[in-house]
A and B are shown apart, each in its own frame.
Chain A
Amino acid sequence: MELAVVGNSEFVTGFRLAGVKKIFEVNNGELEPTVEKILEDREVGILIMHGDDLNELPEMLRYTISDSVEPTVVTLGGSGESSNLREKIKQSVGVDLWK
């Protein structure tokens, strides 16, 4: 399986340097269909995106992403992933343990 990166040109260049081949450089408005396409790709094991890009996606897609295991979505920067996990912990355990 492979890693995939989606984001603007500034965000993805570094991952190209690390050897990641599945790079999706997107401009405004292309993010949602691209993420949907990647989520259906069986070859992608981990999807990397910026936290601010995640916040731009529609609520339903964000929900799908937070529940997705294959591919697992890892966000960098912003406060996307940690706040997602925080909400999930609050909902499941009943206490905010992510402090």
Chain B
Amino acid sequence: MGVKDVKPTRSELIEIKKKIKLSQSGHKLLKMKRDGLILEFFEILSKAKDVRSELDAAYEEASRKIGIANAVDGTITVKSTAFALKSKPEIELESRNIMGVVVPKIESSSVKKSINERGYGILGTSSYTDEAADAYENLVEKIILAAEIETTMKKLLDDIEKTKRRVNALEFKVIPELQEAMVFIRLRLEEMERENTFRLKRIKG
């Protein structure tokens, strides 16, 4: 809204004053929301860093163990054992709300299994394959945890960015423009009043 588009009337001045008040209270609220989101983000950040390093370590361990299983039992044996597995890990996505940001909560079931629940014969496989399966089950658990935390972080970051843009737009664009328009109307009204007084004096004279 440019100053030129503003009609210099008293009703417009009252309207602009109302808009400024509303924008200022909105700006204050959004700033509080942004600060709150950043605090939440800091809490999640340390968790995310820990989970990422745990995940990398678990992946390294699992890769090492499957490498050993492949070397000792043979790739084909490991693959055929893997195909024999019956139960699959299930996940359930729920949502929770952090300051208006809906983030997922992932619940998992039947990730870790005991040897006899896995579905392959114990005699046909070696302990190396069991260890590899164990390591991969552990990795899947970490992946589920990482997925929850990293998604929460992504969503929080998106909302922080959005809120920051809104705060900046209000602070540096909307409120200054409204204030400029208010000053313009005030000056124009004063000018009109002076013109009126001068005109009256002229008529009297």
Interface residues of A (CB under 8 A from B): 1-3, 13-21, 45-46, 48, 66-67, 69-70, 72, 74, 76-77, 81-82, 85, 88-89, 91-93, 97-98
Contact between B88 and A19, CB atoms less than 8 A apart? yes
B132 (CB) vs chain A CBs: closest residue: A17
A3-B143, A72-B151 as given contacts; A19 in contact with B113, CB under 8 Å: yes
Number of A-B residue pairs with CB-CB distance less than 8 Å in the complex they form:
121
Interface set, chain B 124-178, CB cutoff 8 A to A: 129, 132-133, 135-137, 139-140, 143-144, 146-148, 150-151, 153-155, 157-158, 160-161, 164
- 24 example contacts (A-B, Cβ-Cβ < 8 A) are as follows A3-B140, A13-B66, A13-B75, A14-B135, A17-B66, A19-B86, A45-B106, A45-B147, A66-B154, A69-B154, A70-B93, A70-B104, A72-B151, A74-B55, A74-B147, A76-B56, A85-B153, A88-B157, A89-B45, A89-B157, A91-B157, A92-B161, A93-B38, A93-B160
Query: B59 contacts which chain A residues (CB < 8 A)?
Result: 76-77
Contact between B143 and A17, CB atoms less than 8 A apart? no
Query: B144 contacts which chain A residues (CB < 8 A)?
Result: 3, 46
- Docked Cα-Cα span, A15 to B89, in Å, equals 11
Contact between B92 and A17, CB atoms less than 8 A apart? no
How many B residues, CB 8 Å from partner?
56
Looking at B52, B88, B164, the one whose CB has the most chain A CB atoms below 10 A away is B88
A13-B78, A48-B143 as given contacts; A1 in contact with B90, CB under 8 Å: yes
The SS class assigned to the A binding surface is mixed
B158 (CB) vs chain A CBs: closest residue: A92
Asked whether any CB of chain A lies closer than 8 Å to the CB of B9, the reply is: no
A46-B143, A46-B144, A92-B160 as given contacts; A17 in contact with B154, CB under 8 Å: no
A3-B91, A18-B89, A76-B59 as given contacts; A85 in contact with B150, CB under 8 Å: yes
Q: A14-B139, A45-B91, A72-B148 are in contact. List 17 more A-B contacts (CB 8 A).
A: A1-B92, A2-B89, A2-B91, A3-B140, A14-B135, A14-B136, A15-B136, A16-B82, A19-B118, A45-B106, A48-B143, A70-B93, A72-B147, A72-B151, A76-B139, A76-B143, A92-B161
Query: B93 contacts which chain A residues (CB < 8 A)?
Result: 1, 45, 70
- Docked Cα-Cα span, A69 to B66, in Å, equals 30
Interface residues of B (CB under 8 A from A): 38, 41, 45, 48-49, 52, 55-56, 59, 62-63, 66, 75, 78-79, 81-83, 85-93, 104, 106, 110-111, 113, 118, 129, 132-133, 135-137, 139-140, 143-144, 146-148, 150-151, 153-155, 157-158, 160-161, 164
